[in-house]
Amino acid sequence: MKILAVDDDELIREILSATLEAHGYTDVTLAESGEDALQKIAASPTPFEGFMFDIQMPGMDGTELCQHVRQMEQYRNTPVIMITAMNNKEYVDRAFMAGATDYVTKPFDTTELMTRIRLADRLQSEARKAQAAQAAVPAATAAAAPKPPFKDPVTVKEVRGVVKSAALDNYVMLMLEQKQFAMGAFALRVPELEAVHAGSNTEEFTYVVTDVAEVISDVLVGAQAFLSYIGNGVFVCVGAKNKLPSADSMHDEFVMMLNDPDLVYCEEVATGFSAQIGDIAAPKLFEKRGDLRFLDRAVEKLNEAAAGGGRGGSGRSAFAA
Amino acid sequence: MQGMDASKAAVLEAGIARIRERFIASLEDRIESFCGLLEQLEDSATEESACLEIRAQAHKLHGICGSMGYPRMGSLAAQVEQHIDTVIAGPRPLNTDFVDELLNALLDEMEQSVDGT
């Protein structure tokens, strides 16, 4: 994997380089600032396959750099691991909002660092295979290719607080590790998305899911929460437990906004939207740091809430890619 | 170290040892810089910029110390960094008394590390 590692501290750059090289990652480019990184990205004859950005640097910081990189078409989905020595939630939130997919904390634990790199490597290599497979399909066949099933996540882009499922897991792990605040999560489902999926193509369905995500993001704006669409019409939302709204308090406003055609535009399927919202789930005292089972419990609580509609049963892992 | 054969682990260890030597060698300059900034903390015209620079340097130290085998120094640097965040977010004029104390504790630790080598 061709990696660009950016840190303003020369010694940190050397530690990264030495550690990566010792583990077989020999194609590593180092940059000392955000500006330097952008120059090296522009000058690179072949694209980078993974990035490591220090969050706090003078001049352009890692978050701003991440935003720049995400605006480049070829790097929209490239793993970006943020490097942080800080336990300031605001910085970390900004980094994930900017499109970071994972993090490592300084001082580095070699095993942890390499776990993150290998995970990024695996994701990147799967993405490459998928791209190659897509490129191998003739255009006519591709147009006729079956759309992904309803149970699959779709990627929602450029909505505040919306991240991919894997990035949401990584964010939660970081917050749990840092014990910054009591976390909570809840899940919500928009059942009519199933009919929208059945009656539209992939692109149209993605637009509607994106609109719904935007409405959720607006409803949660004061809660500084993150959310992810995990498939099956279900979104998982995570944030500080005491800031997340209860199901009752957000339901009516949420449904009203869902049915505002200026906010959720859906011409393919004539439908009104409803919402099922689960209670908030939180980590339990006996659960270790990094234990993400409370996210599964959030989905279970949604299924319990929706049981009257006959939608019980599945867990988050069953939905997630 | 996981995922590495012994020879690569030895190469990494040797590499980290060289970086550690350079880190220790950098401590005197870092101490000198902090001392200059401590003086600037005494002047109300320069205290805020001094605070921000101390924070930036403490942040760097916090990031590197643990990897270099100086966790206590890293922890003190983190305390300086966090306290300055609180001070800067607070009212003006700044109360930098505790910044001064924390930084002196960090400087003691840095000097002991230099002496220890």
In chain A, residues with a C-beta closer than 8 Å to the C-beta of B9 are 22
The rounded distance, in Å, linking the Cα atoms of A94 and A163 is 12
Q: Quick one: CA torsion of A113, A37, A88, B96, rounded to 10 degrees?
A: 120
Structural domain total, chain B: 1
Q: Which domains does chain A have, with CATH numbers?
A: 3-128 (3.40.50.2300), 165-319 (3.30.70.270)
Q: Which of A9, A56, A107 sits opposite B74 (nearest CB)?
A: A107
One pLDDT digit (tens) per residue for chain A, 321 residues: 999 999 999 999 999 999 999 999 999 999 999 999 999 999 999 999 999 999 989 999 999 999 999 999 999 889 999 998 766 678 888 888 899 999 888 888 888 888 889 888 888 887 777 777 767 766 655 555 678 899 999 888 888 899 988 889 888 888 887 766 688 999 999 999 999 999 999 989 999 999 999 999 999 988 889 999 999 999 999 998 889 998 888 999 999 999 998 888 887 777 789 999 999 999 887 777 668 899 999 999 999 988 865 433 344 443 333
In chain B, residues with a C-beta closer than 8 Å to the C-beta of A15 are 16, 19, 64, 67
Spell out the residues 6+ positions from residue B101 whose beta carbon is closer than 8 angstroms to its own: none
Q: Please indicate, yes or no, if residue B27 is contained in any of the structural domains.
A: yes
Where residue B102 sits, what CATH number does that domain have? 1.20.120.160
Question: B24-44 pLDDT, tens per residue?
Answer: 999 999 999 999 999 999 999
The rounded distance, in Å, linking the Cα atoms of B71 and B83 is 18
- Flag if B4 and A88 touch (Cβ within 8 Å): no
Q: Please indicate, yes or no, if residue B58 is contained in any of the structural domains.
A: yes
Torsion sign across C-alpha atoms A123, A126, A132, A133:
negative
Nearest to A179 by CA among A101, A301, A285, A77: A285
The residue segments making up the domain with residue B102 are: 6-116
State how far residue B1 is from chain A, nearest Cα, in angstroms: 7
Q: Quick one: CA torsion of A8, A121, A76, A60, rounded to 10 degrees?
A: 0
Q: Please indicate, yes or no, if residue B1 is contained in any of the structural domains.
A: no
- Joined together, the tokens standing for residue A26 give 């020999």
Measured CA to CA in angstroms, residue A100 lies from A83, A171, A173, A220 at distances of 10, 9, 14, 21
In chain B, residues with a C-beta closer than 8 Å to the C-beta of A25 are none
Give the per-residue pLDDT at A69.
Answer: 96
Q: In chain B, pLDDT over 70 holds for what percent of residues?
A: 96
Chosen for mutation from B55, B65, B67 (greatest number of chain A CBs closer than 10 Å) is B67
Nearest to A275 by CA among A232, A244, A306, A299: A306
Q: Quick one: CA torsion of A203, A206, A211, A217, rounded to 10 degrees?
A: -150
Roughly how many angstroms between the first and final C-alpha of chain A, as a whole number?
A: 22
Q: Is the peptide bond before B93 cis (omega within 30 degrees of 0)?
A: yes
